[in-house]
Amino acid sequence: MGQAAVAERLRASGVRISPSGVRYIWQRHGLETAVKRLQALADDGADALTPDQQRLLERGQLSARLAQVKVAGDATPGKTSATGAEGEGLSRHELILHVAAERFAAHGYDRTSIRDIARSVGLLPGSVYHHFPAKEDLYLAIHREGFRRVLERVKAAAAEGSDPWDSLRRACQVHVAGMVEGSPVDRITGHSLAMIGDHTLYDKIIDARRAYEQVFRDLVAALPLAPGVDRALLRLTLLGAMNWVSVWFNEGKRSPQEIADVMVEMLKKGVAG
């Protein structure tokens, strides 16, 4: 129940309190969101929640977990930000994108259904179809959003470089970090940079991919290189190496930033003794 409904229920039972008074009490006890109140009820006993309340709690917990990996400032334009007025986490649109990206990354496009995604989000399949008419639309929306986010971050990072090599290094840091540490949307977009099995789907994201690769084309074009170096092959070699990091990355050894630094340093200085 919301604060107004609680105040009305209390007034009907003889307790005079305003909605803002209810919220003040909730805040004092760490119960200011519906998810926190449901968790408190759940802690009182396994059978304290109805099935609908349990689904709402699970959705809120998932939303909070996804919000932790959501990069600040990358909310979808026109959508609710990661933390709303009641602190309930991601908007339904964003939540569907994140959960779908997780399932596509874990199980593949063909082995993931809208029903699977809806179950993970805590919605009925019809609610997912309300936002995305088909699975293909959802898959493409994930990639477009992912490309938009990484394009903004890479451009901003490169602009802070002190010279062409430093700009490339900073851009590569963002790219590799997104591949292994980013949100599910970031990770699946990065994976598609390396490979995608469905060429029909690939053709529909090619413009977004080309816009992103143009950033690296410009960065490589600005490098002071030896005469005769094939800049296109150099760019493709670097992108291919970075895209493969997600396959062999082992947390606890080199950080994504360190990996990017070493890759660029090897390109710059070479590896011959």
Reference 94, options 59, 134, 57, 51; nearest CA is: 59
Q: For residue range 136-159, what is the model confidence (pLDDT) as tens digits?
A: 899 889 888 888 888 999 999 999
Structure-block tokens of residue 78? 């026109």
Where do the domains of the chain lie, and which CATH numbers do they carry?
57-131 (1.10.10.60), 143-269 (1.10.357.10)
Higher pLDDT, 189 or 212: 212
Residue 98 CB coordination number (10 Å): 25
Q: With bands split at pLDDT 50, 70 and 90, how would you rate the model's confidence at 53?
A: confident
pLDDT of 249 above 60: yes
* Alpha carbon distance 120, 103 (integer Å): 9
In the prediction, which pLDDT does 261 show? 95
pTM over 0.85: no
Q: Where are the beta strands (DSSP E) in the chain?
A: none
Pull the structure tokens for residue 109.
């496009």
CA–CA distance, 3 with 6 (Å, rounded to integer):
5
Can you tell me which residue has the tokens 């917990």?
61
Q: How far does the chain reach from its first CA to its final CA, in angstroms?
A: 70
129 within 8 A of 115, measured Cβ to Cβ = no
Q: Which pLDDT score, from 0 to 100, does residue 178 have?
A: 86
Q: Say yes or no to pLDDT of 191 above 80.
A: no
**Helix (H) or strand (E) run with residue 97 in it:** helix 92-107
Determine contact, residues 82/89, Cβ cutoff 8 Å: yes
Predicted confidence at residue 63, as pLDDT, reads 63
Residue 19 confidence (pLDDT): 81
Predicted pLDDT of residue 171: 95
Using only the alpha carbons of the chain, give its radius of gyration.
Answer: 23
Given this model, what pLDDT does residue 20 score? 80
Q: What is the pLDDT of residues 38-49, one digit of tens each?
A: 888 888 875 778
